[in-house]
Structure 1
Amino acid sequence: MTLPLTVQPDTVVVAPSGGRHRNRWLTFFLRRIWRMLVALFVIVSAAFLVLRMAGGDPVRSALGATADEAVVQARREQLGLNDPIIVQFWNYLTGIFRGDLGVSLITGRSVTELVEHRLPATLELAGLAFLVVLLVAVPLGLAVAILTQGGRRRDTELAFTGITGFFAAVPEYLLAVALVVIFAITVPIFPVAGNSSAASYVLPVLALAIGSSAALSRIARVEALNSLSEDYVRTARSKRLPGWMIYFRHALPNMLTATLTLGGTLLATMIAGSVLVEQVFNWPGLGTAFVQAIVTKDYGIVQGLAIVYAVIILVVNLVVDLVLSVLDRRTTLLDTA
């Protein structure tokens, strides 16, 4: 008796089409944009409500207790603070879409003009500090990983983790004060304030970069150790490739994904941390204006600049997500699954 043969159909694996991948990437991009817009709306609403719920009259607080009542009421009318709160919120939102971030409660100066004047100095400071962080942290982390791989040079590892852990834990403004005391007062090498010369950039950039460099170098070392333990590195070594080729062509590109992700997050942190650093060095950026507005109770400027900082941080995080999705497509696939 002949048994019937059962033919198993071949399993065909179809690679995702280019169009499907593009659709997933577009979905990923739109989700990130939507999340950013929702977060921005929440921040704008919070900034609006804080000014109205702080207690007392913000215009009276800004102009002072001795200001004439007619002046106070005229300023309130000018700012629309006598309108119903819903009307105020709507006017505030539509004003932001037109590029109107409000005005100073004291001088009546446009916050948008203030941002246009001072934002470049803040971005310049944070950008230079971030460049220093990348140029220091990535090579340092890779070098220490090479020296300490396989449990070798335990004393080097302990010294590295101890020093970087200390500097990563010190707030930026304390580092700024220490740098001023050492290199501008005790040993007057660099200017203590302003940005009138190239030397005046050194201390504020270092104040922002030291802690972030320490934190990022620790992550870079861990990622480099993981890359150096992978099979492709062992294969490269078995082929007796030069050390520089193993480290820079094989290990370095694979350690950069997580390192750059944290680096982008650190950039957002550095922009926020620049507020106090700018105050220490009297840097002509947004941070100095922000602190001065808080001291003088000029809530119009505080509200507008808080939104500007929030937008910068949200945009930086969005760019980090997009760069990560390009470097590692699994991020896009997991997010759209």
Structure 2
Amino acid sequence: MHTEAPQKNLALDLVRVTEAAALACARWLGKGDKISADQAAVDAMRLCFNTLEIDGKVMIGEGEKDDAPMLFNGESLGLGNGPKVDIAVDPLEGTNLLAFGRPNAISVVGVAPAGAMFDPGPSFYMQKLVVPAQAKDVVDIEAPTGHNLKLIARALDKDVDDLVVFVLDKPRHKKLISEIREAGARIQLHTDGDVTGSLMAIDPRSEVDVMMGTGGTPEGVLSATAIRIMGGEMFAKLDPQKQDEKNALAEYGMDVRRVLTVNDLVKSEDLFFAATGISGGTFLKGVAYHGHGAETSSLVMRGKTGTIRYVEAIHNWDALMKFSAVEYD
């Protein structure tokens, strides 16, 4: 039973939240200190969230309460006087990317009505296949890689060797990578950036056509918010990488054979999503600092209307300082 749907376009408030996190942590670009960068993003995001008129609960956060002092799973956010919502956050997606000065670190937030978000429980990893709207009815996560790529290419009116597949550059993907190469498709290998990969696969402005491989379960739920709004699809199966995780899933009663879709991961269309670029790259431009302020690039979406906005913002330090560090428009 979902509570009354939020009527206000929360996405425009959420972009202030991701901008605040991005502005706070982009200073750490290439400095090799991912802990401080993540802390800066978390602090700024939390401060900003707590100015919003929502009664929010973190479903996908920085981890359990003991490990994450803030934005932990279960934490309450907002002023408590607005709509009840589930929140998924990744204040700094790609901590390593930022720490080592690599592209495509982003700050990202998804919001759904209370009770609508899938609870990953003890699941850390899931196998994913993310495709844009045109290809969502033709693929099968359990079909051979080459077969899927043929069908995706046909749906997108391309040849297989025109396709670009986003894959995380991990040892577990050795077989997948050779299968994609065998099929003739092109590959973009990324060291990190699970959410970014999903977004690139469904964003018409991106050169990526599909994302394949195993990544984080929490990131999967967060990505599903955006994928559902944009009409794309993610097929996913829990894919435990260690025996401990397998045992925990069995104990929790989670079925690793079940194929999940975005409708399983977020059970509502009344969704809001925002992402702001931090370190720049192929997806969203990074934070650019000037003497008197900074510029940010963001992607903002609202589920009910399907509206997608690309927001280029110029932030003026003098004006910002008159308010608190994060209360700005």
Tell me the TM-score normalized by structure 2. 0.23
Question: Which structure: larger Rg?
Answer: 1
Indicate the structure with greater helix content: 1
Looking at secondary structure, tell me which structure has more strand per residue.
Answer: 2
TM-score (norm 1): 0.23
Q: Which has the higher contact order (CA 8 A, sep 6+)?
A: 1
